[in-house]
Amino acid sequence: MRLRPLFWNLALAAFTWTGGASLAQEKSIPTPIPALENIVPLDDIIPVLFQEPASQVKPPDSTKPLDRPLTTPKLPDKPPTLEEFVAPPVLPPLGFTGKSSVLSDIMGDNDYVPAPDRWRLGFPALDRYGLGHPHLMDYMGQIGHWWDPYNQNVLKGDYPILGQHIFLNMTGSVTQITAPFQSPIGTTPFESTARSHEEPFFGLPNFLVNLTYLKLTFDLSHGNAAYKPTDWRVRLTPIFNVNTLNVGELAVVNPNVTRGTQRERTYMALEEWFLETKLADLSPYYDFVSVRAGSQPFNNDFRGFLFNDINRAVRLFGTRNANRDQFNLAYFRQLEKDTNSFLNTFEDRRIDLFFGNYYRQDFLFPGYTAQVSATYYHDDPTFLFDKNSFLVRPDPVGVFTPHTLDTVYLGWAGDGHIGRYNLNHQMYYVMGHDTLNPLAGQAQDISAALAAVELSYDRDYVRFRTSFFWSSGDRDITNSHATGFDTILENSNFAGGQFSYWQRQAIKLFGVNLVNNFSLIPDLRSSRIQGQANYVNPGLLLYNMGVDFDLTPKLKMINNCNFLWFESTNVLEQYIYAGGVDTFIGTDLSTGFEYRPLLSNNAIITMGLSTLIPGSGFKSLYNNPFAGGTVDPLVAGFLEMTLTY
């Protein structure tokens, strides 16, 4: 179909309705008459402009012949009134908009039509492929539903819920974690073993953990956050948790052996609750400074080595130099954690934390970000039994006396790439004082360090990685100098992270943990979330090799091999009253998969399998003399499924 005859046809119809044709005749203006065989019937055009709803409109396809014979245009019996001519077609906006709260009494005329709600402007239906909108094909400009998070949705912050600047973003998620694993379990023969008259000190190592989290987040904000920071924000996140534990021995779920080998708990928490407001704009490039007060997430470094938690705080943060620099100043007054769900309670933990860090993008090399940080950690002397009746503060070893910790951490970190090589590194130095360390039995002056580096290279769909981790250990438990590095509340993603056997689950050792869950450092601490830092520990040396495969756009495979050594074994030898503990812990092998069936984070399935092949140092700690002095390899697995709206 030629466009020029169609244009003249439409012009002729318009002039006829408004009297324009008679005016042309009076002034002897020649009126072009297009060929009738090229005229598109107005019956095909008028419904598109005026009558049919936009969700049902299907514009004529100019690439195909008409499905009925061409006819002469049939004009209406009488011209439309001015109001009818000015009124635009009513087209629905895209997505799910909800009701508009913007009202206007401004009347339009033939020069303009008012649109008081600039967000909810309608769009005509578009069949860009000419396929008739098949159900399983993704089209631009879809009409949405309240339950659809993919297209525009007022519940996902795409349209204002009040006025033109206040947005609500609701997020709901369900996470199910099932984790069977093996870890040495100490018993007291003939008294607390699940099977009477068994003699081995270390019994069946089997654990089965099930965790279910139901989370709903309400995020109310003001401002155009698509291109500048919000003016203010209110956020609430209630979480409901169900957790169960099944083990192979008694006195694990509770010191009271009559409680059996199974535990089930439920818990509900208000995990996030904060108010945020912007204090000032610092430059024309949307640099800003804001303050946030309440329970909020915070990670002090790139990989979560020192502190990575959601807790009660006041935080001042912002950007400089057109967002090239970022800064944080934060004060945390920690809330106590629930023992089994790891969620916050409303009880005061009596820990004071001060954080300050500064990020610089494109430091020395384009794509490389550097960070410096300073942290102050004060932990008051407290006495606490957890929800399962185990003593967690102070550590149930040595003198059993509450003590105070005052330490300062200085850090330098980097993350990014230098050319084609990806680089991530972290260094921390801690100094301070412990009034009475339980293991050493005396006050300690603290001086310890940590260093970690990861180098990786991408080639097509493969990433090759290698990394090294070192935390200093205490070489003499009898003196007053604690040189073992420990963290505050880490959740590190390094050398395999959640897929690694050494990091994912706690390994118990006579009342404390040799290493805590989601931690790298063997700090002999009672609990990562409820215990106090312990700077009298053996330290760690770790060397990692790994390779990741993007098998498909939806499926990723993560593989790691870790070699582990104690940095020093003096503390361990004194703790278990045995000499000759070797430094080699063992080899940690792990593989895992991340599957996103919808190519988004709305559905994520993660699974992993790992094993720790014990070395001579690990066997020295968990030796079973009744089994010929051997320690079998330990196996762990997990399956995690998250659905998010």
For residue 598, tell me if it sits in a domain: yes
Same structural domain for residues 280 and 382? yes
Residues 547, 462 contacting (CB under 8 angstroms): yes
Give a yes or no: residue 147 inside a domain: no
The CA–CA distances, whole Å, from 502 to 104, 184, 267, 493, 634 equal: 63, 13, 28, 12, 10
Task: Give 378's pLDDT tier (boundaries 50, 70, 90).
Answer: very high
DSSP states of 197-260: T---SB---EEEEEEEEEEEEEEEEES-TTTS--SEEEEEEEEEEEEEEEESSSSSS-SSGGGT
b/e map of 507-541 (b: 16 or more CB within 10 Å)? bbbeebbbbbbbbbbbbbbbbbbbbbbbbbbbbbb
| Residues 531, 385 share a domain | yes
Pairing label, strands 481-482, 442-459: parallel
Query: Given a cut of 60, is residue 14 above it in pLDDT?
Result: no
What pLDDT score was predicted for residue 645? 93
* Residue 273, pLDDT score: 97
pLDDT above 70 (res 193): no
Q: Which of 53, 86, 119 lies at the terminal end of a domain, its last residue?
A: 86
68-82, 215-229, 376-390: range with highest mean pLDDT = 376-390
In a domain, 117, yes or no: no
Residues 182 and 72 in one domain: no
Whether residue 498 sits in one domain with residue 379: yes
pLDDT at 167: 94
Residue 232 banded pLDDT, cuts 50, 70, 90: very high
Distance CA 155, CA 281 (A): 28
Segment 315-346, tens digit of pLDDT: 999 999 999 999 999 999 999 999 999 999 99
In the prediction, which pLDDT does 79 show? 61
Q: Calculate what percentage of the chain has a pLDDT beyond 70.
A: 80
If one compares 26 and 550, the residue with the highest pLDDT of the two is 550
Domain count, the chain: 2
Whether the pLDDT of residue 552 is over 70: the answer is yes
Tell me how far apart the alpha carbons of residues 351 and 315 are, in angstroms, rounded to a whole number: 16
Q: For residues 149 and 205, what is the distance between their CA atoms, to the nearest angstrom?
A: 44
Do the beta carbons of residue 506 and residue 183 sit within 8 Å? yes
Q: Are residues 221 and 325 in the same domain?
A: yes
Range with lowest mean pLDDT among 3-17, 244-258, 435-449, 531-545: 3-17
Q: Is residue 134 part of a domain?
A: no
Rounded to whole angstroms, what are the CA distances from 289 to 72, 283, 323, 355? 67, 10, 11, 16
Residue 529: which domain range? Answer: 166-644
**How do 540-550 and 462-471 pair as beta strands?**
antiparallel
- Which pLDDT tens digit goes with each residue over 89-100? 667 788 888 888
314 versus 137: the higher-pLDDT residue is 314
Predicted confidence at residue 526, as pLDDT, reads 94
- Rounded Cα distance between 311 and 349, Å, is 11
Say if 590 falls within a structural domain: yes
Give the residue from 29, 58, 86 where a domain finishes. Answer: 86
Which of 35, 51, 86 is at the close of a domain? 86
Q: What is the pLDDT of residues 447-502, one digit of tens each?
A: 999 999 999 999 999 999 999 999 999 999 999 999 999 999 999 999 999 999 99
568-606 pLDDT, tens per residue? 999 999 998 888 899 999 999 999 999 999 999 999 999
Round the average pLDDT of the chain to a whole number and report it: 84
Pair 172, 82 in one domain: no
Lowest-pLDDT range of 6-20, 21-35, 356-370, 414-428: 21-35
- Res 34: pLDDT: 38
Q: What is the pLDDT of residue 381?
A: 95
Q: Per-residue pLDDT for 369 more than 90?
A: yes
pLDDT at residue 194, as a whole number: 60
Task: Clarify whether residues 82 and 189 are in a common domain.
Answer: no
Q: Are residues 491 and 346 in the same domain?
A: yes
Q: What is the CATH number of the domain that holds 508?
A: 2.40.160.100
Per-residue pLDDT at 388 exceeds 60: yes
Has residue 309 got a pLDDT over 80? Answer: yes
Query: What local confidence, expressed as pLDDT, does residue 97 receive?
Result: 87
Q: Does position 153 have pLDDT exceeding 80, yes or no?
A: yes
pTM of the model: 0.82
What count of Cα atoms within 13 Å lies in the side-chain half-sphere of residue 503?
27
Q: What pLDDT shows up at residue 20?
A: 39
What three-state secondary structure class fits 6? Answer: helix
- Is there a single domain that holds both residue 175 and residue 78? no
CA dist 370 and 362 (Å) reads 8
Same domain membership, residue 295 and residue 188: yes
Q: Is 569 helix (H, G, I), strand (E, B) or coil?
A: coil
pLDDT digits (tens, 9 = 90+) for 506-523: 999 988 999 999 999 999
Task: Indicate whether 411 belongs to any domain.
Answer: yes
Instruction: Report the pLDDT value the prediction gives residue 40, as an integer from 0 to 100.
Output: 39
- What does the pLDDT average to over 406-428? 96
Q: How sure is the predictor about 127, in pLDDT bands with cuts at 50, 70 and 90? A: confident
Per residue in 234-291, pLDDT (tens digit) is 999 999 999 999 998 888 898 888 888 899 999 999 999 999 999 999 999 999 999 9
Q: 404 with 314, same domain?
A: yes
Q: pLDDT band at residue 128, thresholds of 50, 70 and 90?
A: confident
Whether 34 is in a domain gets the answer yes
* 96 domain-assigned: no
pLDDT in tens, 23-60: 333 333 333 433 333 333 434 433 443 333 443 444 44
**Are 234 and 327 in a shared domain?**
yes
